[in-house]
Amino acid sequence: MARNKIALIGSGMIGGTLAHIAAQKELGDVVLFDIAEGIPEGKGLDIAQSAPVDGYDSRLKGTQDYKDIEGADVCIVTAGVPRKPGMSRDDLVEINLKVMKSVGEGIAKYAPNAFVICITNPLDAMVWALQKFSGLPTNKVVGMAGILDSSRFRMFLAEEFNVSVESVTAFVLGGHGDTMVPSLRYSTVAGVSLPDMVKLGWTTQEKLDAIVDRTRKGGGEIVGLLKTGSAYYAPAASAIQMAESYLKDKKVVVPCAAYLDGEFGVNDRYVGVPIVIGEEGAERILEIEFTEEEKQMFEHSVAAVEDLVEACKKIDPSLA
Ligand code: APR
């Protein structure tokens, strides 16, 4: 059977990490694409030279030619610029929108049947634009954010409770920005919801509020520490989970930026919601019910996404 082909559009910090994990997991052969000459080739060669030691047979190729992504089963897009200290994700709109146009055209031409995972920020607006520019079906274009935000939330919660990260589940919904909605009701320790954990005396509401706040600012905390770029290990791991679920038809249920066509009262926008990822891509949306407070937070978050989409339409009127 032919191997799967995974195209990484953007071979910077996240792209390189994606290549390493995808190859180690033997998810398929990996094509690293970038406009920067030498970077994808160098990273591909370096990772390939670790294969004999680690024992995997994925082939890696670096390129500046979109033709090399031909027939890719999965495309993961990180092309663009990351945040620097003092920048919000939204500051990236103008530059990264142009990048999405060229990437969308490249994917439409050479990999129209791929499952496309966008990571480039500001995520909810960039994945929306990428779907429009590529013209691929909406179920085949998704954005990676919710798994990352939930993973950050899970890590902080596991530290607070001094339990395994595996015993903590969490759902962070809404846009991938400071307005994201970490849900306490739908986050659990071995099935026990966070409000119940407060009742059991394992934590306090104040501590949970502080963890929610840290989760919302989780990306910025890392930007502040790194100073020259943004997070890459956890974003890469999160996108790989999505790619793997698609390639293996695992049907994991995870929060992702998915196309909403009336669900949650939202039309023609990408927002973070729980979805099933399987062989059809984003197969189904889990339309959970919100409390009044959660609804307000979600709507606030959707409004922030709306502002970014409007900004995109102004920059590129072909999107209007
Ligand atoms: N086509 C292909 N690659 C491009 C293009 C383009 N038009 N423009 C820029 N790139 C490449 C850059 O050359 C660089 O190698 O995208 C890569 C981005 O890598 P990094 O700068 O290392 O950024 P990274 O940390 O990987 O983050 C990428 O993901 O989380 C988001 O905010 C983050 O938008 C950023 C993206």
Rounded mean pLDDT, 169-176: 92
Nearest CA to ligand 1 atom 29: 120
pLDDT of residue 243: 98
Q: What is the pLDDT of residue 232?
A: 97
Average pLDDT, the chain: 96
What amino acid positions are annotated as catalytic residues? 176
* 55 CA from centroid of ligand 1 (Å): 29
**Measuring from atom 2 of ligand 1, which residue has the nearest CA?**
34
Reported ipTM: the value is 0.99
pLDDT in tens, 108-160: 999 999 999 999 999 999 999 999 999 999 999 999 999 999 999 999 999 99
pLDDT bracket for residue 82 (50, 70, 90): confident
The DSSP call for residue 83 is -
Beta strands per DSSP E along the chain: 5-9, 29-33, 60-63, 74-77, 115-118, 141-143, 168-173, 181-189, 192-193, 252-261, 267-278, 281-285
Query: Which of these, 110, 130, 120, lies nearest to 65 by C-alpha position?
Result: 110
Residue type, position 37, single letter: E
Sheet containing 192-193: order of strands: 168-173, 181-189, 192-193
Atom of ligand 1 nearest to the CA of 232: 25
Could you read off the pLDDT of 292-319 as tens digits, one per residue? Answer: 999 999 999 999 999 999 999 999 999 9
Can you list the domains of the chain with their CATH numbers? 5-144 (3.40.50.720), 146-313 (3.90.110.10)
Is residue 126 within 6 Å of ligand 1 at its C-beta? no
pLDDT confidence of residue 91: 83
| For ligand 1, mutation pick of 78, 130, 134 (most atoms within 8 Å of CB) | 78
Mean pLDDT of 165-193: 94
Q: Rounded to 10 degrees, what is the CA torsion of 317, 127, 183, 261? A: 70
Is 34 assigned to a binding site?
A: yes
Q: Does ligand 1 lie within 6 Å of residue 10's CB atom?
A: yes
Write the residue with the smallest CA distance to atom 35 of ligand 1. Answer: 82
In angstroms, rounded to a whole number, what is the distance separating the alpha carbons of residues 255 and 257?
A: 7
Rounded to whole angstroms, how far apart are CA atoms 150 and 169?
8
Cβ of 294 closer than 6 Å to ligand 1, yes or no, is: no
100 CB-near residues (< 8 Å, 6+ apart): 77, 80, 118, 120, 126, 129, 130, 133
137 φψ region: left (φ > 0), alpha (ψ -120 to 50), beta (else): beta
Among 33-42, 71-80, 172-181, 307-316, the least confident range: 172-181
CA 249 to CA 43: how far, in whole Å?
29
Q: Say if ligand 1 is within 6 A of residue 148 CB.
A: no
Decide: 180 and 216 in contact? Cβ < 8 Å: yes
H/E run at residue 133: helix 123-134
120 is in an annotated binding site: yes
Which of 37, 39, 81, 96 has most ligand 1 atoms within 8 Å of CB, for mutation? Answer: 81
CA atoms of 35 and 46, how far apart (whole Å): 19
CA distance 155 to 159: 6
Q: Which amino acid is at 62?
A: G
